[in-house]
Chains A and B, each alone.
Chain A
């Protein structure tokens, strides 16, 4: 199982983390894509496609992705152009993540429309079909209810652009991932990992794709410690940064089958994830201090043996 990281920050912090990843064998850095970075408006949030436009120039091997970009922010044409541009600038190291969007507060603050859930899924499906038609070189175009791409081959044609689909949906999200994406990012869920991964693989097979080529990944908050005491400290810190009660956070980590605790405690849940088919985990941290990521990566690697 690969250990990767997920962050969301301004340029300097993201660059520092990206460089640390490259020199410490972390294969991928994913960025969350939100226009608010916390419950308060005064926490700065950035355009992550622009952040990555710099990061691709200052790294050489690291895989980079948005995990995931809400289709409520940008028209698929804009997602397409940003993605193929990052693909070219990075020499094929970029993966575009798309999802329905969910954070009501950021949509309210910026006057962006958060369509009702059914419409968001319909739009996500159309956006994926649009993006696929645009990059596969066939020039067949796409005509949907919300988005239309005329029949032609847009340039530049990406070298190796990949798509990742992620979200909390239990039915449509895995089905869309299997049908359109190169990577399915499974959200932690009470139902466990197995069912939705099966749905995604079945959808891939139904579309005539090889399910084995679908990368399965999951992202979760890194709440880990060398020993019980360090774990309790980390738990308290993460709870505070997320505005949650310590016990409530502890219970939710258990309920959602998220590896947490000491390496010994994490080991069984990581094994369960690997057994379910998860090939990569993205460790999330509230802040983006490199030493915190370094500690979390070390502990999860230790747990994996």
Chain B
């Protein structure tokens, strides 16, 4: 999972996606941001247009937007983007949606940034809208913010809906009711387990089989043979976030991130798997540095 708002061209993204496909990764994901929290405004590109190119320039890897803020586009536009990439990729697209959180990018571009309850209400309506748009037979949706009045075409073939976020109650409940995949920022099993329970209960209450909803995490993985190499990795990870390595380590520790020696990392990944995590999106914050990503990947112990 990479973050192209930190720089890079389509060709950089493509090189990364093709490499990921060649080493057998299951998915290539990108963020959807128009800027970043520091004051350096780099190369925010359109997530859907680049994923459309990747749909044609790759052949087997799944492609995902992780995640697209519902503050940027009307659900009609999200639905058409997703269904079209689904067609172009022969069903390899995963649509991630979220409330949006980076207020600065909204201010810069004059995009609406509603208060938190309204963003959640709109996210839930967007999900219901997408279900009506993609479902079989004539379905309509009328909400407070959005409405869909017809049985539109095309219907996607292999599209999956992903809901990402780390809140304790609303996000997992929404995922349980509406998503095919629930994605959380990487954390320790003890923090994650109760949220998975919330997600599964919400699924069951909505009449869905909780086992059909994949639990995945996203975040950095810092595996190193010794302390010196680990410090270097912390530096690489800290720079794009505008913090120093020691703060990066504190944040990772506080968040339950995956870092340490090879054995420690192996144990952490094992722990997450036992908690029900099916997939780890390795977050890579340096979109122009494929060699760095390859080194990072090589140090991660095989499951």
Is residue A86 contacting chain B, with contact meaning CB distance below 8 A?
Answer: yes
Is residue A137 contacting chain B, with contact meaning CB distance below 8 A?
Answer: no
| Contact with A53, one of B52, B76, B87 (Cβ below 8 angstroms) | B52
* Distance, CA A276 to CA B108, complexed state (A): 42
Q: Which residues in window 116-151 of B have CB below 8 A to A? A: 129, 146-151
- The answer to whether A89 and B10 have CB atoms under 8 Å apart is yes
* Distance, CA A44 to CA B80, complexed state (A): 10
- The answer to whether A54 and B88 have CB atoms under 8 Å apart is yes
- The answer to whether A150 and B10 have CB atoms under 8 Å apart is no
Chain A positions within 8 Å of B55 at CB level = 53-54
| Contact with B34, one of A36, A81, A148 (Cβ below 8 angstroms) | A81
**How far apart are B56's CB and chain A's nearest CB, in angstroms?**
4
**How far apart are A287's CB and chain B's nearest CB, in angstroms?**
16
- The answer to whether A149 and B108 have CB atoms under 8 Å apart is yes
* Distance, CA A156 to CA B88, complexed state (A): 25
**How far apart are B251's CB and chain A's nearest CB, in angstroms?**
27
- The answer to whether B73 and A84 have CB atoms under 8 Å apart is no
**How far apart are A27's CB and chain B's nearest CB, in angstroms?**
22
- The answer to whether B110 and A50 have CB atoms under 8 Å apart is no
One of A70-78, A216-224, A253-261 contacting the partner? A70-78
Residue with the greatest number of chain B CB neighbours at <10 A, chosen from A77, A84, A108: A77
Is residue A45 contacting chain B, with contact meaning CB distance below 8 A?
Answer: yes
Measured CB to CB, the nearest residue on chain B to A154 is: B41
- The answer to whether A74 and B43 have CB atoms under 8 Å apart is no
**How far apart are A217's CB and chain B's nearest CB, in angstroms?**
24
* Distance, CA A286 to CA B146, complexed state (A): 31
* Distance, CA A118 to CA B172, complexed state (A): 44
* Distance, CA A41 to CA B137, complexed state (A): 12
- The answer to whether B151 and A41 have CB atoms under 8 Å apart is yes
Is residue B16 contacting chain A, with contact meaning CB distance below 8 A?
Answer: no
Residues 6-23 of chain A, each 1 if its beta carbon lies under 8 Å from chain B, else 0 = 000011000000000000
| Number of chain B residues close to chain A: CB under 8 A | 47
Q: How many A-B residue pairs have CB under 8 A?
A: 160
Is residue B152 contacting chain A, with contact meaning CB distance below 8 A?
Answer: yes
* Distance, CA A59 to CA B147, complexed state (A): 37
**How far apart are B32's CB and chain A's nearest CB, in angstroms?**
10
Is residue B297 contacting chain A, with contact meaning CB distance below 8 A?
Answer: no
- The answer to whether B151 and A56 have CB atoms under 8 Å apart is no
Contact A46 to B48, CB < 8 A, known contacts A41-B151, A81-B34, A147-B110: no
Residues 84-126 of chain B, each 1 if its beta carbon lies under 8 Å from chain A, else 0 = 1101100000000000000000011111000000000000000
**How far apart are A243's CB and chain B's nearest CB, in angstroms?**
18
Contact A41 to B153, CB < 8 A, known contacts A77-B111, A85-B50, A150-B108: yes
* Distance, CA A154 to CA B153, complexed state (A): 35
Is residue B9 contacting chain A, with contact meaning CB distance below 8 A?
Answer: yes
Residues 2-15 of chain B, each 1 if its beta carbon lies under 8 Å from chain A, else 0 = 00000001100000
Chain B positions within 8 Å of A148 at CB level = 110
* Distance, CA A58 to CA B50, complexed state (A): 14
Contact A57 to B56, CB < 8 A, known contacts A85-B10, A111-B149, A155-B41: yes
| Contact with B56, one of A46, A58, A82, A156 (Cβ below 8 angstroms) | A58
Contact A110 to B110, CB < 8 A, known contacts A44-B154, A50-B49: no
Chain A positions within 8 Å of B247 at CB level = none
- The answer to whether B108 and A88 have CB atoms under 8 Å apart is no
Is residue B83 contacting chain A, with contact meaning CB distance below 8 A?
Answer: yes
- The answer to whether B41 and A77 have CB atoms under 8 Å apart is no
* Distance, CA A159 to CA B48, complexed state (A): 20
* Distance, CA A153 to CA B52, complexed state (A): 26
**How far apart are B159's CB and chain A's nearest CB, in angstroms?**
13
Is residue A32 contacting chain B, with contact meaning CB distance below 8 A?
Answer: no
Measured CB to CB, the nearest residue on chain B to A56 is: B53
- The answer to whether A109 and B149 have CB atoms under 8 Å apart is yes
* Distance, CA A51 to CA B87, complexed state (A): 10
- The answer to whether A74 and B73 have CB atoms under 8 Å apart is yes
- The answer to whether B81 and A47 have CB atoms under 8 Å apart is yes
Q: Which residues in window 34-63 of B have CB below 8 A to A? A: 34-35, 41-46, 48-53, 55-57
Q: Beyond A78-B46, A88-B45: 8 further Cβ-contacts under 8 Å?
A: A45-B152, A46-B84, A50-B48, A54-B55, A82-B48, A86-B49, A152-B108, A155-B42
Query: Which A residues contact B (CB, under 8 angstroms)?
Result: 10-11, 35-36, 41-47, 49-54, 56-58, 73-78, 80-82, 84-86, 88-89, 108-112, 130, 147-150, 152-156
Query: Can you give 7 A-B contacts (C-beta < 8 A)?
Result: A47-B84, A50-B84, A52-B52, A54-B55, A81-B45, A86-B49, A130-B110
For the complex of A and B, list the 10 residue pairs with the smallest distance between their C-beta atoms, beginning with the closest.
A53-B52, A148-B110, A110-B76, A47-B80, A77-B109, A44-B153, A111-B147, A53-B49, A41-B150, A50-B84
Query: Which B residues contact A (CB, under 8 angstroms)?
Result: 9-10, 34-35, 41-46, 48-53, 55-57, 72-77, 80-81, 83-85, 87-88, 107-111, 129, 146-154
